[in-house]
Amino acid sequence: MGGEYAVHLAPQSYRKRRIQDPLPHPNDHHSSRAAATRYRMIDMGFEPQVVGVLDAMPCSNLKPENEDEELDEKRVCRTTYMFSATKPPAVERLARKYLRNLVVVTIGTVRTTADLITQHVIMVHELEKMPRLQKMLNELGEKSVIVSVNNRKSADTLSNALDKAGCRVTTLHEGKSQNQMEISLEGFKSKRFTLLVATDVMGRGIDIPDVAHVINYDMPGSIETYTHRIGRTGRAGKTGVATTFLTVHDTQMFYDLEQMFIQSNSTVPPELARHEMSKFKPCHFAQLARNYLKSQLQISLSRVKYCLRDVSAKNLTDLLR
């Protein structure tokens, strides 16, 4: 599947239809298959389509698991290639399930985000976001900046406000046609626009050179998406900056964000390190609560059993009357 760029820019409903059309017949014996099982495809809801493609490939032409087994000299065994910009658990799970004699090939140098990207967080009130953003953009001047938001409505609202403020801005989100998105991307790459407001429809495979700054206007709901977003800057050996606005609505991400800073050898911002919600993972609180309630219930049941140890069925019936 070499058309990764086009697949990512096509409307989502169309992509879901076309990704399985046409599928190979299970009896169609080809010696090679390539599947672009990128994390962003899976993360955006395409896992059933990717699995459908993999399930459609016949098992009859797989290489036997026993390498010592004598093979028919005329038989050509299938080789399956899977490509992904990252290797999160979802991709690893598919690889283990569908690939035999798995070999992992890493292209390029494995580096942490801290090598080339300086990360900042700013604690703000929701109403303070726009003034803070405008101040930052004024300081950045003509540098190329990507502003990431979580949904289409936010992208349009923010883009309109920045356009009225005199910024050379364009947008990229799910509501645009493929042609419109290509025009926006080309305009941003050619410097006709210095500011791109985008949702996560912009997959990691789309390369945009010379992005100086990535601003997470909205904090995403997962640390994987955060990593993808800030990875838009600091490419091709160049340094970059990523700034994230955090509000009280983002506290569920504080723990993961702090751990991400620590693991990438970045300096944890004091305001994040001091926050109580950065000390424990939210699901950990829920688990503690469940364990506590379970233990209290067990204690209560034990006490009831102890109190009723000498009570006969007849006496219990009398007590309940």
Gap between the Cα atoms of 197 and 173, Å rounded:
8
Gap between the Cα atoms of 200 and 113, Å rounded:
19
The proportion of the chain whose per-residue pLDDT surpasses 70, expressed as a percent, equals: 68
Residue ranges of the chain with pLDDT lower than 70?
1-46, 60-76, 85-88, 107-114, 203-205, 283-291, 306, 308-321
Instruction: Write out the CATH class of domain 113-278.
Output: alpha beta
Cα of first residue to Cα of last residue in the chain, in angstroms, is 74
Secondary structure of 24-42 as H, E, C letters: CCCCCCCCEEEECCCHHHH
Prediction pTM value = 0.64
Instruction: Give pLDDT tens digits for 280-305.
Output: 877 655 566 666 777 778 888 877 77
Do the Cβ atoms of 159 and 232 come closer than 8 Å? no
Instruction: Give pLDDT tens digits for 104-134.
Output: 887 655 555 557 899 999 999 999 999 999 9
SS3 97: helix
